[in-house]
Structures are given as structure tokens and as C-alpha cells.
Amino acid sequence: MGSINYGKAEIVMLILDNISRDKVILDVGACDGKWHSMLGPYYTMDAVEIFTPNIEVYGLEKKYREVFNCDIKDLKYRHYGCVVFGDVIEHMTVEDAQKTLEYAKKHADLVVVGVPFLWPQGKCYGNDWEEHVQDDLTHELFMERYPGFELFMKKENYGWYTTSSTTSD
């Protein structure tokens, strides 16, 4: 459920420097709304949260303009200024993550992805979706599996990747 704080301040600055304040940000895997606390003062934000108890416990509907209680791989959405996948794709199969990120690249000016490397995790907190399906991820595997992304920053056990799209709907 928790996420690593590494790089979040730098990602906030990247978004603030590159995304106009009139754009809407989509926070995928909102959990406790941490991205809203960092970006909400500057942007209108929507959220995707698959685990219903998080929506209720963390009051996500009071923080975000709209909360989609679903699996991101099934959500068809409009164009966003930025889509943030902070600690999300490791919970998906490679195929689902590839399709989801390709969709995001076509529906956002900027896509940001944060992933832990070589991080096994089972189901926890009563949340079946917490399991790391891609617990084999490394920087090299990320670059191989998800073409079109560029390394933004990384350390031994975590990486941030970005891509921008010129395609808009």
C-alpha cells in the first residue's frame, strides 16, 4: 500500500515545469491521495483506485474531482495533461501494463511511471491487488518492456520514467 518517497519531489517539479495549470492530472492507484497532497494545490485532479476501502478510508472523493473505482486497464478516459503511475505497473501483467501505458501515451501530454526493482510482494492489507506480478523488474527490463519511455531518475531499487506524447484527442 505504501510507496517509496524517492524522486517524488523531482516529479512534482517536472510536472509543474511542463504541464499548464489549466490541465487536469490523473493519479492512477491513488491509495491515500499522496499525489493529490503534492499536486492538488496547483491542478485539478482525477484518480483511479481499484481498492474500494481506500476510497472510503482516505476520503478520496473529497480530494479528487472524480474517482474511478476500477482497474486502470479497463478505463477509457479523455485526454489529461499528465497521468501518474506511481507504484502501479508492477501489480499488472506485462501485457496489461504495456497496453495500459500505450493507451496513456495517446491520452496525455506527459506520462510518469515509478517502479520498484526486484521487489517481491504478496497480497497484503486485505487487498489482493497489492501483489507484485512483475517482481522481476529492473531498469533494463523496464526499458525493454516499455519502449518510448525515458529514464528520469533511478537508484538501486527504484526508477522513474517519463514520456511525452504529441498525440491528442
> What is the predicted pLDDT for the residue at 157?
87
Exposure b/e, 134-167, CB count within 10 A at least 16 = b: beebeeeebeebbeebeebebeeebbbbbbebee
What burial letters (b/e) apply to 19-33, b meaning 16+ CB within 10 Å?
Answer: beeebbbbbbbbbbb
State pTM to two decimals: 0.89
53-112, pLDDT tens digit by residue?
999 999 999 999 999 999 999 999 999 999 999 988 988 999 999 999 999 999 999 999
What are residue 97's phi and psi, to 5 degrees? -65, -40
Domains and CATH numbers, the chain: 8-164 (3.40.50.150)
Q: pLDDT tens for residues 122-169?
A: 676 776 656 566 788 999 999 999 999 999 999 988 999 998 653 333
pLDDT at 1: 42
Q: How many CB atoms lie within 10 A of CB 95?
A: 10
Nearest to 30 by CA among 100, 88, 82, 117: 88
- Put residue 82 in one of left, alpha, beta given phi > 0 → left and psi -120 to 50 → alpha: beta
